[in-house]
Amino acid sequence: MQDILIKNGIIVTADKTLQADLLLVDGTIAALGEALERQGAQVIDAAGQYVMPGGVDAHTHLNLTVGSFKVSDGFYEGSAAAAFGGTTCVVEHPSFGPDGCSLLHQIKSSRLQAEKACVVDFGLHGVFQHVTPSILDEMQMLSTHGVSSAKIYLTYSGRLQDRQILDVLNRAKGIGLLTAFHAEHHDIIDFLSSRFQAEQKGTARYHPLSRPDYAEAEAIYRIISLAEAVGDVPVYIVHLSTAAGLRIIEKAQDRGLPVYAEVCPQHLLLDDACYEDPERGLRYIMAPPARKAADTAALWQGLAQGSIAVAATDHCSFTFGDKLSHGRDDFTKAPGGIPGVETRLPLLFSEGVLKNRLSLHRFVDVVSTAPARLMGLFPRKGHLAPGADGDVILFDPKMEKIITPKILRQNADYSPYEGMLVRGWPTTTIVRGRIVVREGKLLADQGWGQYIDRGPAVSTSINEGERHEKR
Ligand SMILES: [Zn+2]
């Protein structure tokens, strides 16, 4: 593998900015310093660009199947889209497996498929779709398979009951597993959806009304209470979407409880006005739904201040075609999920840094370093220091593009952010010392991405009492 020397760039990490060169040797970072030289290295001129650790997306569904629906990308196209968007490592949430399957079933099958296809590195979350004594025993095996987090749903058919959650958290505590939660109260949603169906209220505008903010807040409060009963066990709330939920998380954090939260661009940037048009509104069928403007404002603040640790995507590219053909008369029949893995960094930079909602360092932290820490990938990932993987991106803070499906690599027939002018895009993506994307071209073969054995979560600043600003 040819060495790479990145010259003249501005190195930006979660805690510092400096003018320096970066040298990659044998796929890892070898040196960071002024006026580096290296014979035989490929020199990349990064003048005017930020040189950052590659993005880590802690929440993707690149290869999801739900019932008869399958996402449009799959591991190859989905990971290529990630690379074009400056993300060098994803942690994928696999689909549910066959009824009654072992905890390792989906890990093994997803790993086999992803290893052949991915162009960026990847890890896999476990998923609890039922709980039995043997599933609880199998939890210990997760770490030997490099899996340090697993997800519980509080809604959908694979949801767990509270007592089962207690049993899982109790085992998780002993083995250092981070338990991730989809926090929505199932029965409230089921009740409201049935009522709307009975009243022939099937258009997209009823989707957010069927999943109210208190359904999320109640679920979060319950999760935190269950974790508190177990004692001293961390929980991770995926795709937090409401101010009400955030307030509960912050109160728990103020009491010193290890509660972590993730937010996605759709809940920072969209609001429920997107559901007004009955046809176009179906594009935004996802759970949780887009919320109120007051929620987005609160989430930006939480992300800036540190009560929300991570910006991920929940990338799940069901097509607009499928949403339209199944959901036209009944929003509950549309497959839920939106694409986003390619636009995460540009959106967070353009709407966050350039609009003074996030500092430049906080941006790098939430898109790369904090997810690497919580997902047990640090210091290999999310880090620019000698010894770390050569996962580096060049990011042009002045490049402007208007988002359309055409300018994106992702295999999706729409973008939820269509028409937005976005400033700041990655131009070069390097994964373990190899250039995967440069000047709009994919340069790596299928299967370049490797499965990363993840270790236990490393806490982020929230638990070290370094709140970024006083709330
Ligand atoms: Zn998800």
**DSSP summary character for residue 368:** I
**What is the mean predicted confidence (pLDDT) over 254-273?**
98
**What is the mean predicted confidence (pLDDT) over 340-351?**
98
Q: What is the pLDDT of residue 175?
A: 95
Share of the chain above pLDDT 70, in %: 98
Q: What is the pLDDT of residue 465?
A: 38
Ligand 1 mean position, distance from CA 27 (Å):
31
Ligand 1 mean position, distance from CA 238 (Å):
8
CA–CA dist 80, 371 (Å, integer): 20
The whole-chain average pLDDT of the chain stands at: 96
Ligand 1 mean position, distance from CA 192 (Å):
22
Residue pointed to by tokens 């998780």: 172
CA–CA dist 175, 164 (Å, integer): 17
Q: What is the pLDDT of residues 5-27, one digit of tens each?
A: 999 999 999 999 999 999 999 99
Share of the chain above pLDDT 90, in %: 96
Ligand 1 mean position, distance from CA 38 (Å):
43
Residue 447: pLDDT band with limits 50, 70, 90? very high
462 has a pLDDT exceeding 80: no
Ordered by start, the domain boundaries in the chain are 53-383+453-464
Three-state SS at 75: helix
Ligand 1 mean position, distance from CA 230 (Å):
25
Q: What is the pLDDT of residues 60-112, one digit of tens each?
A: 999 998 888 999 999 999 999 999 999 999 999 999 999 999 999 999 999 99
Ligand 1 mean position, distance from CA 95 (Å):
10
Query: Cβ neighbours of residue 280 under 8 Å, at least 6 residues apart?
Result: 274
Ligand 1 mean position, distance from CA 381 (Å):
22
Q: Full-prediction pTM beyond 0.85?
A: yes
468 has a pLDDT exceeding 60: no
- Cβ-based neighbour number of residue 239 at 10 Å: 23
343 has a pLDDT exceeding 50: yes
Protein residues within 5 Å, CB atom, of ion ligand 1: 314
**What is the mean predicted confidence (pLDDT) over 147-158?**
96
Residue pointed to by tokens 């929440």: 59
Ligand 1 mean position, distance from CA 429 (Å):
25
CA–CA dist 212, 189 (Å, integer): 8
Length of the chain: 471
End-to-end alpha carbon distance in the chain: 48
**What is the mean predicted confidence (pLDDT) over 257-267?**
98
4 has a pLDDT exceeding 80: yes
Ligand 1 mean position, distance from CA 64 (Å):
10
CA–CA dist 36, 12 (Å, integer): 17
Ligand 1 mean position, distance from CA 94 (Å):
9
Residue pointed to by tokens 């501005």: 10
Ligand 1 mean position, distance from CA 303 (Å):
19
Nearest in space to 370 (alpha carbons), one of 453, 263, 285, 282: 263
Q: Which strands form 28-33's sheet, in the order they lie side by side? A: 28-33, 21-25, 4-7, 42-45
Residue 461: pLDDT band with limits 50, 70, 90? low
**DSSP summary character for residue 160:** P
Ligand 1 mean position, distance from CA 146 (Å):
20
143 has a pLDDT exceeding 90: yes
Give the start-end residues of each E strand in 325-365: none
Total H helices, total E strands in the chain: 14, 22
Ligand 1 mean position, distance from CA 416 (Å):
16
Ligand 1 mean position, distance from CA 61 (Å):
6
**What is the mean predicted confidence (pLDDT) over 354-360?**
98
User: What is each CA distance from 372 to 44, 54, 59, 378, 454, in whole angstroms?
Assistant: 26, 10, 12, 5, 10
Ligand 1 mean position, distance from CA 314 (Å):
5
Q: Are 124 and 111 in contact (CB under 8 A)?
A: yes
469 has a pLDDT exceeding 60: no
Q: Are 56 and 383 in contact (CB under 8 A)?
A: no
Ligand 1 mean position, distance from CA 125 (Å):
11
Ligand 1 mean position, distance from CA 60 (Å):
6
Ligand 1 mean position, distance from CA 387 (Å):
32
Q: Are 341 and 81 in contact (CB under 8 A)?
A: yes
Nearest in space to 253 (alpha carbons), one of 91, 468, 58: 468
Ligand 1 mean position, distance from CA 37 (Å):
44
Ligand 1 mean position, distance from CA 313 (Å):
8
Residue 58: pLDDT band with limits 50, 70, 90? very high
Q: What is the pLDDT of residue 463?
A: 40
Three-state SS at 43: strand
Range 53-383+453-464 classified under CATH 3.40.50.11780 = no
Residue 207: pLDDT band with limits 50, 70, 90? very high
Residue 260 corresponds to which tokens in the numbers above? 């972590």
Residue pointed to by tokens 């540009």: 346
Residue 36: pLDDT band with limits 50, 70, 90? very high
Q: What is the pLDDT of residue 460?
A: 77
**DSSP summary character for residue 281:** G
Ligand 1 mean position, distance from CA 144 (Å):
24
Residue 147: pLDDT band with limits 50, 70, 90? very high
Residue 418 corresponds to which tokens in the numbers above? 């269509």
Nearest in space to 268 (alpha carbons), one of 242, 303, 307, 300: 300
Q: What is the pLDDT of residue 429?
A: 98
**What is the mean predicted confidence (pLDDT) over 241-253?**
98
User: What is each CA distance from 244 to 240, 248, 299, 306, in whole angstroms?
Assistant: 10, 7, 10, 17
Q: What is the pLDDT of residue 459?
A: 81
